[in-house]
Amino acid sequence: NLTDKLDSVFKKLRGQGRLTEDNIQQSLREVRLVLLEADVNFRVVKDFVANVRERAVGQEVLKSLNPAQQVIKIVRDELGRLMGEGQDNHLDLAARPPVPVMLCGLQGAGKTTSCAKLALKLRREKRNPLLVPADIYRPAAIDQLKTLGKQLDIAVFDSRADVDPVKLCTDARQFAELNGYDTLILDTAGRLHVDQELMAELQRIKQALQPREILLVADAMTGQDAVNVAESFDQQLDITGVILTKLDGDARGGAALSIRAVTGKPIKLVGLGEKLDALETFHGDRMAQRILGMGDVLSLIEKAQAAVDKDEAQAMEQKLRKEGFTLETFRDQLKTIKKMGSMESLLKLIPGAGKAMKQVGDMQLPDRELKKIEAIINSMTAAERRDQRILNGSRRLRIARGSGTTVQDVNLLVKRFTEAQKMMKKLQKLGPKGMKGMKGM
Ligand code: GDP
Ligand code: MG
């Protein structure tokens, strides 16, 4: 209910006391586990944690308003950096047409599908691509690409099996030149495992065509294997980037992070489904969030930090300590929430809250509810705000009239608030240790 939600927001809003190096170590242990669970390569995790620790034990954190949250922010920043945030992950097709783009990878990774998706994407960007089925060992693969091309109304070079793949690619290039196609998308053969024969063939195609982009297609679901595959393809072919497929499944994305860290090559595109328009530009920050599994908690933290400056937070905390959690201090907190934007947009940032809001269905909009709550509290006398227990029937009626609400509204607020107050008392009894346990990361 609303009180619970407010309560969790308050917990995040209020300064959480001191953070010691011990606390930081503990948090980093949690982060380490999360990353390993997300299938991030252990070497990468080790370096990563070391980097975060270095930044986190510095002044930056211990002096900040809210150290625990500052740690999360550093984790996010570092994850973003590891993922190549800010690095150019756009396809580079600035060359004399026809520009060859070569897709390679193991069988089943999603090469053929990604070729078709990429062609569609490029056509939407006003290019005129030609699909080239260069997986000549499997006639079915050629047919698969032809079918996809037909579906999208995108030209597919008429390959036949049992032609030398290099010859096939150079023929396709000539065909593209003669017919005005500006981009060649090469669907190369794959194997079940990395093997030297395959690599040799791919190297020959690379030699002959000089592709502007060599994109490894890697299956995110294969986790650590994808990292090893990426490493060997990069060693043999010096890839220019990665297309990470099947991220719509329950792959936690650790592969993305590791591939980027191990090869140093950018993830350029991600496959998010079997449909042919499910290919998107890669966003490191979103992937960081996916890996942390924290919904948008991180942006909530940033908002909170922007909204509450340190002095204000301290003043609020002192007042709370002196006067306790009353309708008076509650009203101050509501003001802070309002500063952070609407309650609704705030709730959306809390994992699970979006769903909860849907379930509530026709409940009044939180923003309107908030205004009502404020109006009711404003209509109370200072004494009533300090202790709502003195609110008898006639006082409640007066407040309802004064705030343009009903006695039922007033009753509901008083009831909810009293519940919240009880909870706060319980939390305070637990002491700082208990509060910390409640907070989690
Ligand atoms: P190839 O052997 O590397 O050419 O792989 P395919 O393109 O034939 O794809 C293998 C399977 O993975 C097919 O069933 C595709 O529909 C599926 N696939 C490819 N990309 C994605 C993706 O991003 N998401 C999902 N869910 N499935 C995908
Ligand atoms: Mg294929």
Is the beta carbon of 245 within 6 A of some atom in ligand 1?
Answer: yes
Is the beta carbon of 274 within 6 A of some atom in ligand 1?
Answer: yes
Tell whether the model's pLDDT for residue 4 goes beyond 50: no
> For residue 366, what pLDDT is reported?
64
The conformation of residue 3, written as its DSSP 8-state character, comes to H
H-type alpha helices, 185-283: 196-209, 224-237, 254-263
Tell whether the model's pLDDT for residue 87 goes beyond 60: yes
Spatial distance between the Cα atoms of 83 and 78, rounded to a whole number of angstroms: 8
> For residue 311, what pLDDT is reported?
60
Q: Say which residue, 206 or 433, is predicted with more confidence.
A: 206
Confidence bin at 309 (pLDDT 50/70/90): low
Tell whether the model's pLDDT for residue 437 goes beyond 70: no
Could you tell me which residues are annotated as the binding site?
105-112, 187-191, 245-248
* Amino acid, res. 334: L
Mean pLDDT of 190-203: 90
> For residue 364, what pLDDT is reported?
42
Tell whether the model's pLDDT for residue 9 goes beyond 60: no
Tell whether the model's pLDDT for residue 349 goes beyond 90: no
Mean pLDDT of 51-74: 67
Mean pLDDT of 375-382: 92
Q: Which of 24, 55, 101 is nearest to 269 (CA)?
A: 101
> For residue 290, what pLDDT is reported?
64
Residues 6+ apart with CB under 8 A from 360: none
Percent residues over pLDDT 70 in the chain: 70
pLDDT in tens, 96-113: 999 999 999 999 999 999
Confidence bin at 24 (pLDDT 50/70/90): low
Nearest CA to ligand 1 atom 20: 110
Ligand 2 centroid vs 186 CA: distance in angstroms? 11
Mean pLDDT of 434-440: 38
Identify the top-confidence range among 204-208, 311-315, 427-431: 204-208
> For residue 124, what pLDDT is reported?
93
Q: Where along the chain do the CATH 1.10.260.30 domains lie?
A: 2-16+294-439
Spatial distance between the Cα atoms of 386 and 379, rounded to a whole number of angstroms: 13
pLDDT in tens, 227-255: 889 999 999 999 999 999 998 876 667 77
Q: Are strands 183-187 and 99-104 parallel, antiparallel or unpaired?
A: parallel
Residues 6+ apart with CB under 8 A from 212: 92, 93, 94, 95, 99, 100, 101, 240
Mean pLDDT of 370-394: 91
Confidence bin at 372 (pLDDT 50/70/90): confident
> For residue 285, what pLDDT is reported?
72
Is the beta carbon of 138 within 6 A of some atom in ligand 1?
Answer: no
Percent residues over pLDDT 90 in the chain: 40
Q: Which of 209, 210, 208, 228 is nearest to 218 (CA)?
A: 228
Confidence bin at 305 (pLDDT 50/70/90): low
Q: Which atom of ligand 1 is nearest to the CA of 273?
A: 24
Angle at the Cα of 351 (from 414 to 221), degrees rounded to 5? Answer: 165
Give the mean pLDDT of the chain: 78
Mutating to test ligand 1, I would choose from 111, 113, 146, 191 the residue with most ligand atoms within 8 A of its C-beta, which is 113
> For residue 93, what pLDDT is reported?
94
Angle at the Cα of 369 (from 364 to 371), degrees rounded to 5? Answer: 145
> For residue 301, what pLDDT is reported?
47
- Two tokens, residue 99: 């520009």
DSSP H or E stretch at residue 218: strand 213-219
Domain 2-16+294-439 indexed as CATH 1.10.260.30: yes
Q: How far is CA 262 from CA 31, 211, 224, 229, in A?
A: 20, 23, 11, 11
Nearest CA to ligand 1 atom 16: 274
Ligand 2 centroid vs 380 CA: distance in angstroms? 71
Confidence bin at 292 (pLDDT 50/70/90): low
Q: How far is CA 433 from CA 95, 301, 323, in A?
A: 62, 21, 22
Tell whether the model's pLDDT for residue 403 goes beyond 80: yes
Ligand 2 centroid vs 198 CA: distance in angstroms? 14
* Amino acid, res. 118: L
pLDDT in tens, 277-291: 999 888 877 777 666
Phi/psi-derived region of residue 375, left when phi > 0, alpha when psi is between -120 and 50, beta in every other case: alpha
Sign of dihedral through CA atoms 32, 36, 38, 39? Answer: positive
Weakest-pLDDT range from 157-166, 229-238, 268-277: 157-166
Just give the CATH number of 99-281.
Answer: 3.40.50.300
Buried b / exposed e over 236-255, threshold 16 CB at 10 Å, is: bbebbbbbbbbbeeebbbbb
* Amino acid, res. 306: A
Tell whether the model's pLDDT for residue 168 goes beyond 90: yes
Tell whether the model's pLDDT for residue 351 goes beyond 60: no
Q: Give helix 254-263 / helix 67-82 axis angle, nearest 10°.
A: 60
Mean pLDDT of 114-125: 96
Q: Where along the chain do the CATH 3.40.50.300 domains lie?
A: 99-281
Rg of the chain's alpha carbons, rounded to an integer?
A: 29
Spatial distance between the Cα atoms of 93 and 53, rounded to a whole number of angstroms: 40
Spatial distance between the Cα atoms of 102 and 131, rounded to a whole number of angstroms: 10
| Cβ–Cβ < 8 Å for 117, 271 | yes
The structure's pTM equals 0.64
